[in-house]
Structure 1
Amino acid sequence: MSYYRIYIIVKEVRGYCAAGYKPGDTIIIEKFYVKPQHTKICLHALNSMLTLLMPFLKGISAKSLGIGMEDHRGYIQCPDPGKPYTSGGTVVFELIRRKIQE
């Protein structure tokens, strides 16, 4: 069985992010867990990713999932629409998958 590490990188912040994300902030997912780090994890953003993260972790391509043009790189955004609908903003995350040795 192949195992993967996924880097969830803040690509863009449109408006104001209540979690304080800034471009370059990174969250790392490995196998079935979130690796300890200093970046906060926004539950709203994580919730919007979970249904796509699990198949991506299992090796399904980003192209097949409809989240990217390359097999190992995809994009997801948080559900906050930002102004004029909320006081927040939306964050675009880049997901990069790398195979890890077991």
Structure 2
Amino acid sequence: MYELTVVVTKVLGTCSSEVPMKPGDYLTVRNGALRIPEGGHICLYALQSLMPVLTTKERRIGEKHSDDWVWRVHHVQCPDPEGRVIFHIVRSGEKAEMPPYTPSEPCPQPQTDPSLADLRVIVEEVRGKCTSGMQPGDGFLLKSGRLYIPAGRHFCLYALQATLPLLPAKQRAPLDGDWLARDNHIICPDPAGNVVLRIERV
């Protein structure tokens, strides 16, 4: 397994996040666990473009370089055509020039869109054995479109992948009869772990 450093190297447009992503912002992935440095965040929408590539890039692959696309993919861009934030995925042992990291300024208050709720996703229960080592109380915060993991902590990529599709809808007020209004729990896809996550409004 490789440890990955995923770093913003360029912003070819204008990042529309309330706290824009900038060159040097980064996250790391090791053994399926995502970490963000203190003062850092990752844009939820950019993360959705990164997720399908991270689990593959983490692994050592036996195919010849010429036969496998994973060896050729080193960059992923944010899905916002106006932002064009470019991420470089660097495996442990690879040499790459990376811009220096500087923590972001806190988000200005109040939120520009008060109709969007901030969310907290918390590990409520571990019914099996979590291979990522998550424990009750672990979690992350979603403020507008920015995802924060407490410094020195991690969140499992697979549990995160199960949670991501629901978050934009959970940030908004549901209409009467919407099943999402009462469903606040998700279980990690790993049947050995059975990690139960709770989504709550902050």
- Tell me which protein shows more strand as a share of its residues: 1
Q: 1:51: how far off? A: 1.3
Q: Distance in 1 between matches of 2:132 and 2:181?
A: 23
The alignment's TM-score, normalised by the length of structure 1, stands at: 0.72
Match of 1:31 in 2: 144
Deviations 1:39-65 (A, max 9, x none): 31211111111111111123337x724
Alignment partner of 1:17 is 2:130: yes
Q: Which has the higher contact order (CA 8 A, sep 6+)?
A: 1
Structure 1 counterpart SS, 2:137: coil
Matches within 5 A, 1:1-102: 1=113, 2-38=115-151, 39-60=153-174, 64-66=178-180, 68=182, 74-82=184-192, 89-98=193-202
- What's the RMSD between the two structures over aligned residues? 2.1
Q: Distance in 2 between matches of 1:49 and 1:93?
A: 8
Q: Distance in 2 between matches of 1:37 and 1:11?
A: 17
Contact 1:67 1:76 in 2 (8 A): no
The percent identity for this pair of structures is: 32
Aligned residue pairs total 87
Q: Distance in 2 between matches of 1:47 and 1:36?
A: 15
Q: 1:66: how far off? A: 4.1
Unpaired runs of 5+ residues, structure 1, are 83-88
Contact 1:52 1:65 in 2 (8 A): no
Q: Distance in 1 between matches of 2:190 and 2:145?
A: 26
Please say which structure displays the higher CA radius of gyration: 2
Q: Distance in 2 between matches of 1:67 and 1:40?
A: 28
